[in-house]
Amino acid sequence: MQPTDGCGKLGPNPPIEPLAAYLAPKDFQAELAEELGADISAFHDRLLIAPGSARPAAWAANVWYDPLRIPFSSIAEAARRLRSIQRNWALYSFTSHRRAALISEKLPPVLARPMVFGAKAPSAPLGSWTLLDPNTLLASPHCSSAFPNGELRFVENPAPPSRAYLKLWELFTIQDEKPRPGERCVDLGASPGGWTWVLQQLGARVLSVDRAPLDHRLATLPGIEYRRGSAFTLEPRSVGPVDWLFSDIICYPAKLLELLQKWLESGNVRRVVCTIKFQGATDFVTLRRFAAIPGSRLVHLHHNKHELTWLKL
């Protein structure tokens, strides 16, 4: 049977033509739709369906690979059909239909307790599903995120001077890569010091650069060197080789790109992580320039707002 609404064919077999579903972060459906282009075949609130195999999408909180359209006649049958595929499932609900909650109650529970930073991301497969209508599931046993709906939450720490630290915690968890003790890091636009705090806690040596001072609580911590000044006038050759370059600066994307190109062209930096912040409309033109840099990628972290994280590791 051919697909009826861009969501795959009936039954638990793979769709005849490749399809993928992309879950946008809350309030960023428009950005995801712009990124995917005109070939979107169905919208289900934050869940966008597009033909073809799944492709990288910076504005997707979670990508559903090869979703299946599964008909059912009862709540028990729906739960049974999902369990026959695998154990772990996370519900994305875009309606207030009670049937979705009743089906979810009959599935094995997926514990989504806040993580302690440093713990490994879950390795067990986690599928995603939703209720398209009272008698049709859309389900994907394989997804890009190990966390329900791409939402990674932590047991928070009251010590850092800003909640921006959560972005680095999340990135290091999903990438399973972070600075090692003794590695040299530069934190551009560091004040008040949320990212500097994370890096220092990991044992890295941190050069923090900003016109504004760091929070006083960081002043006595070992391994931190504060340099007062603008991140945009700092010359890479005056710093020397660094293992990691970080930036959470509030500036226009095009200006940030110029700054990063200066560092990349210097040959003095091995890895780069920065936040691209949008003041007003999303700058897709500059985003494409970031994405074109070899060996890099763009992601929207759960702890990002109207911004993306760019990394080159």
At residue 7, what is the residue type? C
Which residue in the block uniquely carries the two structure tokens 């033109």? 285
Give yes or no for a contact between 96 and 120, defined as CB atoms under 8 angstroms apart.
no
User: How many other C-beta atoms lie within 10 A of the C-beta of residue 135?
Assistant: 14
Counting DSSP H helices and E strands in the chain, the numbers are: 8, 16
Phi and psi at residue 289, to the nearest 5°: -70, -40
φ, ψ (nearest 5 deg) of residue 58: -60, -35
Query: DSSP assignment, residue 119?
Result: S
For the question of residue 178 being annotated catalytic, the response is no
Q: Are 78 and 137 in contact (CB under 8 A)?
A: yes
Instruction: Give the position of tokens 């080789």.
Output: 241
- Please give the DSSP secondary-structure letter assigned to residue 308: E
11 and 44 Cβ atoms separated by less than 8 Å:
no
| Active-site option among 167, 178, 277, 312 | 277
Separation of alpha carbons 67 and 12, rounded Å: 10
Question: Contact 231/247 with Cβ under 8 angstroms?
Answer: yes
- C-beta of residue 11 within 8 angstroms of C-beta of residue 37: no
State CA 105 to chain mean position distance: 28
Tokens of 278: 């949008």
Tokens found for residue 84: 């026959």
Phi, psi of 275 (to 5 degrees): -105, 125
By the 10 Å C-beta count (0-12 exposed, 13-18 middle, 19+ buried), 241 is classed as exposed
Q: Which sequence positions are flagged as catalytic?
A: 277
